[in-house]
Amino acid sequence: MNLLLVGVNHKTAPVALREKLASFIPDPEEACRALKTYPELSELILYSTCNRVEVLCVTAVAEEAETRLKAFFARDEEIAGALEESLYIHRDLDAVQHLFRVAASLDSMVVGEPQVLGQIKEAYRQATSQNASGPILNRLLHKSFSVAKRVRRETGIGDAAVSVSYAAVSLGKKIFGSLAGKNVLLLGAGEMAELALEHLRGQRVAQVVIANRTLERGVRLAERFRGEAVSLEELEAQLLSADILISSTGSPEYLLTRDQVKAAMRRRKQRPLFLIDIAVPRDLDPGINDLDNVYLYNIDDLQEVVAQGWEHRHQEAAKAERLVAAETLKFLEWLETLEVFPTIIDLKEKADRICGAELDKTLKQLGPLTEEQRQALEVLTHSIAQKLLHDPIIFLKRNHHPKKIQKDLDLVRRLFNLDLDRQEDAKILVEKKSSKPPE
């Protein structure tokens, strides 16, 4: 069996092509059902995100499966021409290593971002619900999850901020020590606000309030993150309970002035207020930073944090790559043992046939025996066969190497004449069928 991975991502395909592929595969579950009909694919999983579309499969006929998957990606004429240079194909070791790197967020646009692991887990759930995944992919996907967990636990790949939104949340954690129990107020409901909310997940904040000019858009975003939406007219009132304010609107003028915040601080009894303005042009009056117990950061302040974060993550990524390489080899060692099982089964079946035939001859010569005596002879012959096969089986299980496994299998099969036995069994089966009278 071979592992085969075919796909495109943000490194190989421009955003226009990725958009077309995403619209071409709007329903991954439906696409998975279509792929299941391909006889060349014995197991498969498909995951489609904004930055990648990949199909990972198990196949006994790698060349034919590759042709099938290329055709699957190129079904749309607009896509077919652009795919030639964008499509990548990985087999076996490369396919395993690629999956582990994706799951560990080493192949992401933003190294260390955790979202892609959740997307792969969802794709795996869909594949198992449709019985598209099997024993090999089940083990491989679960291994990818544990590899991603190890990378998170044993490296600092996710520690440093590498996006402005992440930097904003990280700064909040530094000032307060923990965001648990804090109230967060977001100005704006655009992409930057959405990213900030993604990074706030799991921080156990007490409340999230989204203030937006268009209330409907704020409500939609708030529903996704179990927050509350308010209009910009309620901004000053919301300042009274907020601990952190993150602003990212497209307003051409200040949404909060120094005087407004000063008035709010009096009513807050000078309880600290942390403000992050990541809008260009700025939403918050720079004079706000002169107030006591008020901490205002703008996007330039965060850029330095982001630059430091990139350097830190790339250093930690080198450690993660070593971990992924080691885990890849371990998985391939397990995968290679699957190749020896048919030969081991053939060995045992041949031994059972010989033992059975010889035991029948012996019993005929010995005459009547008690049931205990008969069972003792059966145990004896079975035990001798097991002991004789022990060393060849251990040899197959332990002494294999990726480049010589097939040589070892051929050697054992020739020594024990296993292929000839199979041919004779097949011949006997055909003769039995042909001699059977018609019904």
Exposed (0-12), middle (13-18) or buried (19+): which is 364, by Cβ within 10 Å? Answer: exposed
Handedness of CA 157, 158, 164, 168 (dihedral sign): negative
φ, ψ for residue 158, nearest 5 deg: -105, 10
> 50 an active-site residue?
yes
List, in sequence order, every beta strand (DSSP E) within 164-206.
Answer: 183-187
Q: Any idea which residue has 């020896």 for tokens? A: 340
- Residue 347 near residue 389 (C-beta atoms within 8 A): yes
Which pair of tokens denotes residue 258?
């120094």
Which of 204, 171, 202, 200 is CA-nearest to residue 186? 200
Which pair of tokens denotes residue 210?
């989204």
Task: Output b/e per residue, 8-46; b: 16+ Cβ within 10 A.
Answer: bbeeebeeebbebbeeebeebeebbeebeebebbbbbbb
Phi-psi map region of 188: left, alpha, beta (phi>0 left; psi -120 to 50 alpha): left
The DSSP bridge pattern shows strands 273-277 and 207-212 to be unpaired
Q: Pick the catalytic residue: 32, 50, 57, 355?
A: 50
How many other CB atoms sit within 10 Å of the CB of residue 120? Answer: 21
Cis peptide before 281 (omega within 30 of 0): yes
Give the active site residues: 50
